[in-house]
Chain A
């Protein structure tokens, strides 16, 4: 179990800053997801952690020891790539045992640990086979076993599920999560899929344009996004401008009450947001943050109905029960619960 600190980590390629003064702490045994769109600096950060890429400035610390001058092969940070990259000239057993062989571990001990690891990734008896005899999902499990067998200080997974189909991805997510919990290895998981990050990670580091936007637990990205951009990335575009005065926000729809636990923005201009799944459709006007809205569109999604509403000129999305039915153009009442209202900065 290794405690990782990234301190002012920066990497520039010519005039482009891929990662900009990244500060992050990963607790021992924690699984952290680096999340963000392509080109946001996730993989660059991962490569700096392994030592495959040197930072322009800043430091990587494992258990408070600087790793910048430690060569990759001595860091104990093992990487699993998007492509499984099993060595094509070796058998599955030789692939899994590669790291142990490099350490000079005795042949019999290698065999024992390889079998143990193949058992862990649910591929017992696969040792004599060649990589091309395995499916994509099985090959990725072998790649995982190859990384785990050396008991890495830090396990770095660079979009390892990107090439798998939907069912296999789900299966692999569960496998990774259960193995990570069982072995308590400090793990960093790079992904651009927010659902994957939420499902797997203890904490998520969301990055845009090389900058860390928010580093928090998965539920905070839904309930307490730090900016409009973060909210948008987590599929919440419900915004309403307003002015906060104490426990109330004045909006074009009237005055809304806010829960005391959700008043992190100072008094003044703010943006009000409520997640689509937290907006309540109520049959009749009632007490507490009820406003009128016009139905613009409704789409049946199987598990729910997605309703597009016009709230005083702002388009909001609401997830209503699947059986919800209304006419387009009909005026309905929606409730914005005080405990679900979140205030965002205007800039």
Chain B
């Protein structure tokens, strides 16, 4: 009997063990290797002494801070703009109107499309040789396609932002839409009869209801954008580039002596992301509670 009881208790942990083991092995395994290399333990180049020198090198380099700011700016702007647009679109799409099912389908269409494909699409659309530039030229709005505003490889990262918006708005929106459809119209109707105008109904009734969903999805978006390198690598300027791109480039450098510095950069990036997520979560909890 005791054995059966023990098996019953262990059944759930044993069932999740393979998945947990995989995550631990891949994530913590990589983290341990990366962390040891960042401390100078890199037998491949004959380095065995532990040192904080590579962290020092990274933290005294101006390029690092310029990249950090670029990364933070892009992640924050993409997250905030995606959240705002997602809420606005979900508020429209929750209503039943002619063609609402088609529009809802189109709204969700970009979710399964890979970020790289999305980036290629944005380049085809907004680059100076893209569809918009050619269209503007054909309509006589600009003298030549090259006069079309620079949106790819520009310092503000317009194409990067557009790619993230195209991908992340439906991701947040689908969660908000599900919450709004679950809540139904009656809370708003009550508020209306109690004298609340459209803005007050949104601010005091709907927003507190959707905020937990918005915050949890936007945390994921922020973390993803902050740590992703492929879109800034494809569509961003070389300088200042984002931290993940900087770390990736150092990692890929044929000169193996740059590897510990790349690893130090990655560890710092991870720590910053964790700190930012904790701060974000605290702020989110405060916003929901208040």
Give CA–CA (A102, B195) in the complex, Å.
Answer: 6
A298 located at the interface, meaning its Cβ lies under 8 Å from any Cβ of chain B in the complex: no
B212 to chain A, nearest CB (A): 9
Give CA–CA (A73, B195) in the complex, Å.
Answer: 4
Within 108-158 of A, Cβ neighbours of B (below 8 Å) are at: 146-147, 150, 156
Interface range on chain A (Cβ under 8 Å from partner): 20 to 34
Chain A contacts for B193, CB-based, 8 A: 50, 52, 72-73, 75, 77-79, 147, 156
Give CA–CA (A52, B197) in the complex, Å.
Answer: 13
Of A84-92, A172-180, A257-265, the one contacting chain B is A84-92
- The answer to whether residues A87 and B187 also contact, given A98-B204, A102-B200 and a CB cut-off of 8 A, is yes
Within 190-227 of B, Cβ neighbours of A (below 8 Å) are at: 190-197, 200, 204-205, 208-209
B164 to chain A, nearest CB (A): 30
B195 & A87 in contact (Cβ 8 Å cutoff): no
Among A52, A81, A150, contact of B194 (Cβ-Cβ < 8 Å)? A150
A117 to chain B, nearest CB (A): 13
In the complex, residue of chain B having the shortest beta-carbon distance to the beta carbon of A80: B190
Chain B contacts for A192, CB-based, 8 A: none
Within 42-95 of A, Cβ neighbours of B (below 8 Å) are at: 50, 52, 72-79, 81, 83, 85, 87-90
Within 267-306 of A, Cβ neighbours of B (below 8 Å) are at: none
Chain B contacts for A79, CB-based, 8 A: 189-190, 193
Give CA–CA (A172, B200) in the complex, Å.
Answer: 31
- The answer to whether residues A89 and B209 also contact, given A102-B196, A150-B195 and a CB cut-off of 8 A, is yes
Chain B contacts for A87, CB-based, 8 A: 187, 204-205, 208
Give CA–CA (A67, B205) in the complex, Å.
Answer: 25
In the complex, residue of chain B having the shortest beta-carbon distance to the beta carbon of A74: B195
A85 & B190 in contact (Cβ 8 Å cutoff): yes
A345 located at the interface, meaning its Cβ lies under 8 Å from any Cβ of chain B in the complex: no
Among B194, B197, B209, contact of A146 (Cβ-Cβ < 8 Å)? B194
Chain A contacts for B187, CB-based, 8 A: 85, 87
Give CA–CA (A156, B192) in the complex, Å.
Answer: 13
Among B192, B204, B209, contact of A52 (Cβ-Cβ < 8 Å)? B192
In the complex, residue of chain B having the shortest beta-carbon distance to the beta carbon of A77: B193
Chain B contacts for A78, CB-based, 8 A: 193-194
B186 located at the interface, meaning its Cβ lies under 8 Å from any Cβ of chain A in the complex: yes
A330 located at the interface, meaning its Cβ lies under 8 Å from any Cβ of chain B in the complex: no
Give CA–CA (A73, B204) in the complex, Å.
Answer: 15
Give CA–CA (A156, B205) in the complex, Å.
Answer: 21
Among A81, A103, A156, contact of B186 (Cβ-Cβ < 8 Å)? A81
A321 located at the interface, meaning its Cβ lies under 8 Å from any Cβ of chain B in the complex: no
B192 & A72 in contact (Cβ 8 Å cutoff): yes
Chain B residues within CB distance 8 Å of chain A:
186-187, 189-197, 200, 204-205, 208-209
9 interchain residue pairs of minimum CB distance? A99-B194, A89-B208, A72-B192, A102-B196, A79-B193, A102-B195, A78-B193, A73-B195, A73-B192
Between A and B, 7 residue pairs with Cβ closer than 8 Å are A50-B193, A73-B192, A81-B189, A88-B209, A98-B191, A99-B196, A146-B194
**Besides the contacts A50-B189, A52-B192, A99-B195, what 19 more A-B pairs have beta carbons closer than 8 Å?**
A72-B189, A72-B192, A72-B193, A73-B194, A73-B197, A74-B195, A79-B190, A81-B189, A85-B186, A85-B190, A98-B194, A98-B196, A98-B204, A99-B196, A102-B197, A102-B200, A102-B204, A103-B195, A147-B194
